[in-house]
Structure 1
Amino acid sequence: MENDIFGNAILDYQLGSYTEDIKTYSSLDEEDVIPVPYLFRKFKVMPSLEQRALKLCKGRVLDIGCGAGSHSLYLQEKGLDVTALDHSPGAVEVCKLRGIKKVVRSDFYDFKNQTFDTLLMLMNGIGIVGELKYLDQFFTHIKTLLKPGGQLLIDSSDIIYMFEEDEDGGYWIPDTENYYGEVTFTMEYKKQKTKELAWLYIDYNTLQRAAQSSNFNCELVSEGEHYDYLAKLTLNLQ
């Protein structure tokens, strides 16, 4: 697990060897920290959007990008049939150690031949898409994982607030061909760094248009306090 920066950090915490947090560096010229203990949070201290999403889960659930497994663990304790999915070996090991019964190590696009009533992608899980141009590929694969009448629950953020606002209430966005929510970042833990990763933050209107073009209904379930939101997507069967 030499390059499994995220997995190494949460596995250290699980095994009682927590000494530092994960540092992140993004193309937005921001340095930030992911507090590792926060990834092990209980339901009562989760953001309201996450709580709402977990309460909407039904039937057989796939927790995509499960991380330390806090969402999966809550759903399992509530009696739901949940599968925790992550490509990180460390994350998979942590989920097993925390008692999650169904844990799968796989890249999202390599996971096939199973269907679910609820697909869960929290903590900006749609970030794995990387760039807007890959949304069609993303939705195509989502369709193979959904049971008839199934739902995809996603939270994300409109990061327009990170750009300078002008006197008219607009924003100064760099003049590039890229969508402003397309970000690259690296993670650092114990002096080891990941390679640069592409990550997508998507505003709700852009998500809704992309979803509709792929024959999904897209509903704004709830909005958070800081440009974040929870959306529910279902296939349009008409």
Structure 2
Amino acid sequence: MADLFGKIMKDALAGEDAKYSIERDDGNVCDDLGRNYLVPFPEWSEGERQAIVHAKGRALDMGWGAGLVMRYLREQGYATVGVDISPGGVEACRSQGLVDTHVMSAEDLKFKPNTFNTVLLFGNNFGILGEEPRIIKMLKTLHRITTPDAIILASSRDPEATDDPAHLKYHEWNRERQRPVGLVRIRLKYKDAVEDWWELLLASPEDMNRLAQQAGWTLDTTFGPRNLYVGLLRKEGKK
């Protein structure tokens, strides 16, 4: 599979706008700029700005983009490890001095128990594995590799917090196929290249909590509006 995300990050760091498209399998297309992965803290989403202040101890940043969150946490004095499946993304981060970054899937996290105090899943990455059983398995792994008082700061969207006719039509199509309303099949397009299709789950706070509780976590609070929020997850029985 072409590493388009890595190419977008490299071009953005080189000063390009790096305009790319996300195509959904119903033909809906959304355009964005790679340079938006480099915005300073005041331009982060409301939920991310409010949530990040709760980070503590040693952090694991999963799917970090161009290293935006890692750089911020480093400036605040936190030790942060980054993992991403994009080799180009890892290279882009290391070029900025973010050396503790690794090519690693969210489905195969190779860390010892009790390694991290905070896990970050910004950029809609709560649902990065798509299917609910895979997300639950990821959350169980995160439970094992984090300390008893650890937290997860996970970003997602309530798919039904919209009045866009195209999105509402897609929800109905999902229901007809007996798929979760927020499960989307998408692919990246950049310059003349097209990536393979993959699935992303957009989860309401209620669905985030339902999945989390099947892996020993519970949703403590949320930050930001439902259409782009960050949930703070704690291990069950911890406050």
When normalised by structure 1's length, the TM-score is 0.89
Return the alpha-carbon distance in structure 2 between the equivalents of residues 190 and 229 of structure 1. 30
- 2:5 maps to what in 1? 6
* Structure 1 runs not aligned, ≥5 long: 166-170
Give structure 1 regions of 4+ aligned residues with deviation exceeding 4 angstroms: 162-165
SS of 1:158 mapped into structure 2? coil
Could you say if the C-alpha distance between residues 177 and 129 of structure 1 is closer, same or farther in structure 2, counting changes exceeding 3 Å?
A: same
Partner residue, 1:188: 189
Q: CA deviation at 1:52?
A: 1.5
8 A Cα contact 2:46 2:224, kept in partner = no
Shift in CA distance, 101/135, structure 1 to aligned 2, threshold 3 Å: closer
Residue 207 of structure 1: how far off its partner (Å): 1.3
Residue ranges of structure 2 left out of the alignment (5+ in a row):
none
* Deviation at residue 215 of structure 1 after TM alignment: 2.4
CA distance in 2, matches of 1:234, 1:20: 37
Verify the 8 A CA contact 1:112 1:144 in the aligned structure 2.
no
Once the two structures are superposed, residues 61-85 of structure 1 have per-residue CA deviations (whole angstroms, 9 ceiling, x without a partner) of: 0000011000110100111011121
How many residues are treated as equivalent by the alignment? 230
Equivalent-residue separation in structure 2 for 1:137 and 1:50 (angstroms): 24
Listed as ranges, the matches of 1:47-126 within 5 Å are 47-114=45-112, 115-126=115-126
Cα distance in 2 between the residues matched to 1:154 and 1:147: 17
Match of 2:20 among 4, 18, 22: 22
Out of 195-204 and 214-223, give the one that drifted further.
214-223
Q: Which residue of 2 aligns with 1:206?
A: 207
Q: Does 1:137 align with 2:128?
A: no
C-alpha distance in 2 between matches for 1:28 and 1:203? 22
Displacement of 1:210 in angstroms is 1.9
Asked whether the 8 Å contact 1:28–1:183 carries over to 2, the reply is no
Q: Distance in 2 between matches of 1:232 and 1:172?
A: 26
Measure, in 2, the Cα distance between the counterparts of 1:82 and 1:213: 27
| Larger RCO of the pair (alpha carbons < 8 Å, separation 6+) | 2
Name the SS for the 1:180 alignment partner: coil
Contact 2:220 / 2:233 at 8 angstroms: preserved in 1? yes
Match of 1:168 in 2: none
Deviation of 1:209 (Å): 1.7
Tell me the CA shift for residue 164 of structure 1: 4.6
Aligned AA (2:144): T
- Percent identity reads 24
Q: Do the aligned partners of residues 134 and 107 (structure 1) sit closer, same or farther apart at CA in structure 2, a change above 3 Å counting?
A: closer
Kindly indicate whether the alpha-carbon contact (under 8 Å) linking 1:73 and 1:100 is maintained by their aligned counterparts in 2. yes
C-alpha contact 1:76 1:82 (8 A) present in aligned 2: yes
Tell me the amino acid that sits aligned with residue 79 of structure 1.
Answer: G
Q: Which moved more, 1:3-12 or 1:25-34?
A: 25-34
Contact 2:117 2:149 in 1 (8 A): yes
Residue in 2 that maps onto 1:154: 154
Residues 26 and 184 of structure 1 are in contact (CA less than 8 Å); yes or no, is this contact kept in structure 2?
yes
Say what the alpha-carbon RMSD is for the aligned residues: 2.1
Structure 1 CA distance for aligned equivalents of residues 132 and 164 of structure 2: 19
